[in-house]
Structure 1
Amino acid sequence: MKLVIVESPTKAKTIERYLGKDYKVLASFGHVRDLAMSGYNDLGVDIDNDFTPKYEIVPKSERVIKQLSAKAKDAEEVLLATDPDREGEAISWHLAELLDLDIDDTKRLEFHEITKKAILEAIENPRTIDMNLVHSQEARRITDRIIGFKLSALVQKKLNARSAGRVQSVALKLIVDREREIESFQKEVSYKIEAVFKIGKKEYTSILVNEKGKEVEFENKEEAMKVLSILSNQMKVLSCDAEEKQNYSLYPLTTSSLQQEAFSHYKYRASKTMKIAQSLYEGVDLDSGRVGLITYMRTDSIRLSPKFIYAAKEYIKDTYGEEYVGYAKTQKENDNVQDAHEAIRPTDVNITPSSIKDKISKDEYNLYKLIWIRAVVSIMTAEKYSLKTIIFDNKGYTFKATGKSSIFEGYKKLYKELSNSKYEDIEDLEVNSIIPVKENKLKEEETKPPYRYSEASLIKKMEEEGIGRPSTYASTIDSLHKSLYIKEENKYLKPTDIALLVNDRLQDYFKDFINVKYTAKMEKELDHIADGSLNKLVYLHHTYDDFKEPFESATIIMPKQAVMLDETCPECGGQLRVSRSKFGEFISCSNYPTCSFKKAKEDELTGKEKECPICHEGKLVVRKGKYSNFLGCNRYPKCTYMEPLKKHFFKKKK
């Protein structure tokens, strides 16, 4: 018997079905070993001895390792089939070490989809463990441990905050910077002039433009009104031209764009999207048995395999016609793209979303439909449309009206199932004809502040700036939630008071280290370790040298500080401050423990606008219990989450 080890039992169950009785597939249940929580100042890393790591078995994995070790001793051969990325490579290496396998000879299976063909091809073409990938993961883990532990201890001691980290604190800076942009925003008012005209029963709008065809914006209302007063109630057609345009199809999905699109279409949080994608990748039960429906979901590539492109073209031709068959997109220039991964795509284009709608959950269906459509439309032809432009004259002032009409649907033949935008055309008008104007009017426009980040737009920004990797986007945002640094308002991320304080103090002492540019540089260096062009120790020494001096300075100089409010304590007259507990932020007296006054922050009183932390779909509402009221999810009984009301925040009346 040959033993195959993967991370999850779901993945094991799917793969074992393909391999037959000569193979046993078991799961490690994720990472089996990590840096120790003791030794070397509780870092688990000997900084003074070339950053030598001290590893220990993760407590939950001790029983699993004993079972795997026993099975490995009896096995004819052990094959490691963890995920095809840095983390997966590290898990394989740790397993090899713990099971006393020969690192140089142990077979490592690499596949990017869990299908019978892909698994058998991996069995036929094994490789050995890639130590460059292992070193890259180890360098990342050591860096995150040193920086994360030291910074977290600093903000806990000085600011009574929860945590800080290499990527987390830069993501927080993006959120805080955006909040400050919004706070400092000064609106500007401008005016445009529109002429509304009618053709038949339909109304259209034209707009005043300059000689270059650009819309005229007036900063001064009086100036705009002066022009408006000159205009007559009719316009002369100067030209009516139509131009054929093309709208090219979209790229297939990456981890980042999947999370963005899932939020846009379904309002899924990043962590929820990845959880659903994981189940689609590892396998779901269909009539034909257990099937992996999508390729590996942690990727920043838009590449598609030749065999999928061929199959998709055949599907498009058979379903829509030869004229809808296009060309696959080529990879964009992106220094951050890792490995030889494909985009996220269906493993079999002929398994259409509609064919399995009743066999998978609604969330799985939604995400699979999104992935399937984006992969297929990326190989379809462009949409062709006519852009009609009509130019009018009114008392020497030029107005422009535009309309669109579809010539050939192209990829939108399929994509309209996700997003169906309709065009409005304008009838052809004869040159020199006179068109009556129903109304000349002034249109006032105000500039708007930038939007707060949603999880999706934050991930997009992180990807653009080279911060983090596909495997870390969701977990970074989860860390910010758990540290009580962000709260959601209508699905947008607002920094909390403690987040503003933590960000400002970190920028006071670590502005050259905790910033977008430096963090992106670190990510590139980790990629260079992965491809063998940079030594792990060179990276670790340089990074720690950059961190050590500002950290030592902050440890001595940074004052202890709390978020203070412009309110006085009703009990003793002291100044109120924002404090933190495991339940969230609350308001307390700065004279504690002499004065123990506490009260809830206004947004904590009823749970208003507070998302359920378990299902992420419901809102917390006040419910009546047998003995007292409590907060519970409004999706009950589907979700049974509950927590106590913050009654303990209030001082009892005497």
Structure 2
Amino acid sequence: VITELKKLAKGARDIWFATDLDREGEAIAWHLAEVLKVNPPDAKRVTFDAITKSDVQKAFENPRGIDMHRVDAQRARRILDRLVGFLTSPILWPKGAGKSAGRVQSVASRLVAEREEEIRSFTPDESWEISGALCFDIDASDALHTEWNDFISQTDTRNKPPTIKQRTAWLSDHRSLSADLIEVDGKSLKITASNNSTEELIDEAVSAAEAAGLLDINIEREENQNGRGRAKNLIRISGKPDPKAIYTIDSIEVKRTKSKPYPPFITSTLQQAASSKLGMAADRTMRIAQQLYEGITLPGEGSVGLITYMRTDSTNLSGEAINLARRYLEEKVGKEYLPEKPRFYASRDQSAQEAHEAIRPTDPFRDPNTIASALSDEQFRLYQLIWQSFVGCQAIDAEWDSTTVQMRRTDKDTGAVFKTNGRVLRFDGCLRIIGIPKGDGDQVLPEFDKGTTLSPFSIEPKQKFQSPPPRYTEASLVKKLEQEGIGRPSTYASIIRVIQDRAYAEQIAKRFYATFRGELVTEFLKDGTDNSDIEQQFIEVAYTREIENDLDDVAAGKITRQEMLLRFYEKLIPYLNILKDLEFVRSKPSPYKCPECGRRLDYLLAKNGGKFLSCTGYNEKVLEDPPPPKRTAKGKKPRARKPKEIPSCTFAMPCDRDGRPQLPEQIDLLSPSGKPMVKRTGRFGDFLVEDVPPPPKKKAGKKSDSDAPTPFILNIDKKGDLKFPAPPPIATDIECEKCGGFLNLRDGKRGPWLGCSKFPKCRGRGAFSKLSEKEQKNLRKELADHMKSQQTLELTRRDGHTPVEDGTPLSDLTIEGGVAELEKFIEA
């Protein structure tokens, strides 16, 4: 590419540099200028937010020189990352700690690891709430009690009860509403106890339930082995509502509220919205956005850039863009959806580059539905999300009528008061574009007046425990990185990818869990900062934010690149010297006792980044007496063998993420000979093999038993799916151009193909399409006959009947081993 550019530059009158408009793009322009011998200040540098005719023309009418301050900021970032990575990672390798450390990845890994520790050590507060379901038809309350209990006891295919939205719909269909008890005997209902309190709340909860009208109260208690603090004791209160209980509507308050649109997308908010609404990973979102930015071929228009530049931290919109959005609303939606004045959005991030625009469609009149045929499914969904965000941000507020109703018990003077809320959309406003929120379960209350009576058909006291901090999703982790000033819009996706690739974190059910390796490496890097003489380091969140601010200062020309790098390097070296002398702890004590020797079991770091249980006796060595010496064939006295050091105990056991010992998992699959299959791990990854005893080791000088059958082996591909063995190839007389050997003919997904018979030593391929028609016809016929003659592999589950197909996910065949029972270790 460089050679071609140099050749073109020799005959060119002008050289224009139109790389991306961020710092990375500026640095690329500078590198090209250096190669092409162009003085950076004299270069014709052009930038544009969108690849459209008008934006590109405007940029070429106003060229500028290459901004060396921005180039220096990007170069400083690269050097910083290399200083940390190249100097810290080699410290981890010999200690067996991890694959790498990084200026930003280590801080992101720390966030996930610390959240894991918060969740693990969290002890909840306890509280009680009493909810009720009340109907306007007083005579129907007894029948509705039975119907309601039957409804809420139903479960779906995933064994989950009805959602809040489904419950609300049921209540609406039966002219009923849900409410919460807020007052008893003139006092606000607040039944709570802090996590360190020993106070019993059950009596207060029962008293409030009785005041609300619950009869025949039954109390059930259960111990929760996995709970902490008060959450160890689970209590359930049940009963039946008093059929004579009457509640009268005491007050009705209606208030008009408004919903404002959110600002247009920046990189982080686009990634968050795509993750939560579309289920797209951050790096996938950026790849699709790149395609929309670079251009999509539209019928009658050619290649058109559909969105502006997607790596931005600014919510700023140009006057031209705002006018386009307002014109669309007026012409296509209606004047009533257009606010009197345009909406302007200021960036929350003070370092945001306001010269850049937010992510928006280049032309809002390109409605997603009108160009859907030219887009893939993912492109359409992401473009629609961006289009809705931009057009909606200029629309008028949506308006709701929010209603608050209080109902007081009037058949008895217990002072019980229920409260309910509901809202009705009166004007959709910006929601006409963005879409009305789904699944919020807001009640739509029927028409009624003050003094209307109701009867409860369900009164449910609920024991509640404070929830621990939630684990990060991709969306919330990106938001946290942005809040803490860690990384930049262009790096969020790669940060998330790297901490997973390095086995510092893993994503399960769209939530990030710190691996055992992630926790240990984070602790190791944090231990290096305990020395009071050491200044702040890259592993600390605040210092990482400070570095980002320093890079902004370099880009603004306030400090030089050299000054900034020297300051960082002088802080880094003493910290690295401490890390070199620190011991990396690969284990943590567990609460379990070894069933073989009685020692304590430890959690030990596994190769995949997880953990397993291992006896501490493994580190204690004992001498094993050698077998008695045998005389040689010539009758000479053999040499005496020295005692061999071996571990005093080798017991090990798998455990789950929470550290509970696990029984071995089983695979629901039989081999062709009817033997159970088990999973093993080899040099090249996981595979399945028959669960048979290993063949006896052959003795020295003796041949192995040729009659012993070879166990059946089945490979697993990179996706974790079964990979049935491919039929053997057909040998041909066609020569390999690479090594001179012969090519084999195989049947592939796209038809016949030719590959070298000496694979993997030679990876030569032959072009089947370049063969003569006669050769192709003969080879196709030979291959078809060959494939028909091959016996099809047929496998079944352990029941011996259910067939298992090629490509079946291994996860579908895995039978969890369950939790093993081990004694607790008690320190002597």
Q: Distance in 2 between matches of 1:181 and 1:475?
A: 25
Maintained 8 Å contact 1:631/1:643: no
Aligned to 1:248: 260
Report the alpha carbon displacement of residue 119 of structure 1 after superposing the two structures with TM: 0.8
* 2:212 corresponds to 1:227: no
Aligned to 1:353: 368
Q: Please give the secondary structure, in 1, of the residue aligned with 2:373.
A: coil
Aligned to 1:335: 350
- Describe the shift of the 1:172–1:209 C-alpha distance in structure 2 as closer, same or farther (beyond 3 A): same
Report the alpha carbon displacement of residue 129 of structure 1 after superposing the two structures with TM: 0.4
Aligned to 1:455: 474
Aligned to 1:258: 270
Maintained 8 Å contact 1:299/1:342: yes
* 2:285 corresponds to 1:273: yes
Maintained 8 Å contact 1:621/1:633: no
Q: Counterpart of 1:628 in structure 2: which amino acid?
A: L
Aligned to 1:320: 333
Bigger helix fraction: 1
Q: Distance in 1 between matches of 2:14 and 2:203?
A: 85
Q: Please give the secondary structure, in 1, of the residue aligned with 2:16.
A: strand
State the Cα deviation string for residues 583-633 of structure 1 (Å, max 9, x = none).
x7687997899989999977898999xxxxxxxxxxx99899996322353
Q: Please give the secondary structure, in 1, of the residue aligned with 2:10.
A: helix
Q: Counterpart of 1:363 in structure 2: which amino acid?
A: E
State the Cα deviation string for residues 69-120 of structure 1 (Å, max 9, x = none).
1111121111111111111111111111111111121110111111111111
Q: Distance in 1 between matches of 2:286 and 2:378?
A: 11
Aligned to 1:562: 586
Q: Counterpart of 1:346 in structure 2: which amino acid?
A: P
Q: Distance in 2 between matches of 1:469 and 1:407?
A: 41
* 2:440 corresponds to 1:407: no
Aligned to 1:501: 520
Report the alpha carbon displacement of residue 642 of structure 1 after superposing the two structures with TM: 12
Q: Counterpart of 2:204 in structure 1: which amino acid?
A: E
Report the alpha carbon displacement of residue 487 of structure 1 after superposing the two structures with TM: 1.4
Aligned residues: 566
- Describe the shift of the 1:380–1:537 C-alpha distance in structure 2 as closer, same or farther (beyond 3 A): same
Q: Counterpart of 1:292 in structure 2: which amino acid?
A: G
Q: Distance in 2 between matches of 1:564 and 1:607?
A: 30
Aligned to 2:392: 377
- Describe the shift of the 1:607–1:328 C-alpha distance in structure 2 as closer, same or farther (beyond 3 A): farther
- Describe the shift of the 1:623–1:336 C-alpha distance in structure 2 as closer, same or farther (beyond 3 A): farther
Aligned to 1:368: 383
The correspondence of residues 158-557 of structure 1 with structure 2, limited to 5 A, is: 158-199=95-136, 201-209=174-182, 216-219=190-193, 220-232=201-213, 233-287=245-299, 288-326=301-339, 327-394=342-409, 395-416=414-435, 419=438, 423-510=442-529, 512-513=536-537, 514-555=539-580, 557=581
Report the alpha carbon displacement of residue 357 of structure 1 after superposing the two structures with TM: 1.4
Maintained 8 Å contact 1:623/1:631: no
Q: Please give the secondary structure, in 2, of the residue aligned with 1:461.
A: helix
Q: Please give the secondary structure, in 2, of the residue aligned with 1:191.
A: strand
Q: Distance in 1 between matches of 2:298 and 2:116?
A: 47
Report the alpha carbon displacement of residue 365 of structure 1 after superposing the two structures with TM: 1.0
What's the C-alpha RMSD, in Å, of the aligned pairs? Answer: 3.6
Q: Distance in 2 between matches of 1:598 and 1:122?
A: 70
- Describe the shift of the 1:622–1:450 C-alpha distance in structure 2 as closer, same or farther (beyond 3 A): farther
Identity percentage over the alignment?
Answer: 32
Q: Counterpart of 2:498 in structure 1: which amino acid?
A: S
Q: Distance in 1 between matches of 2:372 and 2:101?
A: 43
Maintained 8 Å contact 2:41/2:67: no
Q: Counterpart of 1:254 in structure 2: which amino acid?
A: I
Report the alpha carbon displacement of residue 553 of structure 1 after superposing the two structures with TM: 2.0
- Describe the shift of the 1:544–1:339 C-alpha distance in structure 2 as closer, same or farther (beyond 3 A): farther
The correspondence of residues 25-174 of structure 1 with structure 2, limited to 5 A, is: 64-174=1-111
Q: Distance in 2 between matches of 1:575 and 1:226?
A: 48
Question: Where in structure 2 are there 5+ consecutive unaligned residues?
Answer: 138-173, 194-200, 214-244, 531-535, 622-643, 657-663, 669-685, 691-710, 724-748, 751-805, 812-828
Q: Distance in 2 between matches of 1:255 and 1:329?
A: 18
The correspondence of residues 596-611 of structure 1 with structure 2, limited to 5 A, is: none
- Describe the shift of the 1:303–1:240 C-alpha distance in structure 2 as closer, same or farther (beyond 3 A): same
Q: Distance in 1 between matches of 2:252 and 2:687?
A: 58
Aligned to 2:146: none
Question: Where in structure 1 are there 5+ consecutive unaligned residues?
Answer: 1-63, 609-619, 646-654
Report the alpha carbon displacement of residue 199 of structure 1 after superposing the two structures with TM: 2.7
Q: Counterpart of 1:330 in structure 2: which amino acid?
A: Y
Q: Counterpart of 1:308 in structure 2: which amino acid?
A: A
Q: Distance in 2 between matches of 1:445 and 1:633?
A: 41
Q: Distance in 2 between matches of 1:606 and 1:631?
A: 19
State the Cα deviation string for residues 346-372 of structure 1 (Å, max 9, x = none).
111111111121211111111111111
State the Cα deviation string for residues 202-230 of structure 1 (Å, max 9, x = none).
22122122599987344412102112213
Maintained 8 Å contact 1:104/1:128: yes
- Describe the shift of the 1:621–1:381 C-alpha distance in structure 2 as closer, same or farther (beyond 3 A): farther
Q: Counterpart of 2:265 in structure 1: which amino acid?
A: L
Q: Counterpart of 2:263 in structure 1: which amino acid?
A: Y
Maintained 8 Å contact 1:373/1:414: yes
- Describe the shift of the 1:568–1:446 C-alpha distance in structure 2 as closer, same or farther (beyond 3 A): closer
State the Cα deviation string for residues 527-566 of structure 1 (Å, max 9, x = none).
11111222322222222222222222222x2124434686
Q: Counterpart of 1:538 in structure 2: which amino acid?
A: E
Q: After the TM superposition, which of the residue ranges 426-435 and 237-246 deviates more from structure 2?
A: 426-435
- Describe the shift of the 1:335–1:606 C-alpha distance in structure 2 as closer, same or farther (beyond 3 A): farther
TM-score (norm 2): 0.63
- Describe the shift of the 1:231–1:606 C-alpha distance in structure 2 as closer, same or farther (beyond 3 A): closer
Report the alpha carbon displacement of residue 429 of structure 1 after superposing the two structures with TM: 3.5
Q: Counterpart of 2:48 in structure 1: which amino acid?
A: F
Q: Please give the secondary structure, in 1, of the residue aligned with 2:424.
A: strand
Q: Distance in 2 between matches of 1:641 and 1:91?
A: 44
Q: Distance in 1 between matches of 2:469 and 2:5?
A: 53
Report the alpha carbon displacement of residue 343 of structure 1 after superposing the two structures with TM: 0.8
Maintained 8 Å contact 1:336/1:466: no
- Describe the shift of the 1:257–1:89 C-alpha distance in structure 2 as closer, same or farther (beyond 3 A): same
Q: Please give the secondary structure, in 2, of the residue aligned with 1:333.
A: coil
Q: Please give the secondary structure, in 2, of the residue aligned with 1:481.
A: helix
Report the alpha carbon displacement of residue 236 of structure 1 after superposing the two structures with TM: 2.6
Maintained 8 Å contact 2:688/2:714: no
Q: Distance in 2 between matches of 1:341 and 1:213?
A: 55
Maintained 8 Å contact 1:208/1:398: yes
- Describe the shift of the 1:231–1:248 C-alpha distance in structure 2 as closer, same or farther (beyond 3 A): same
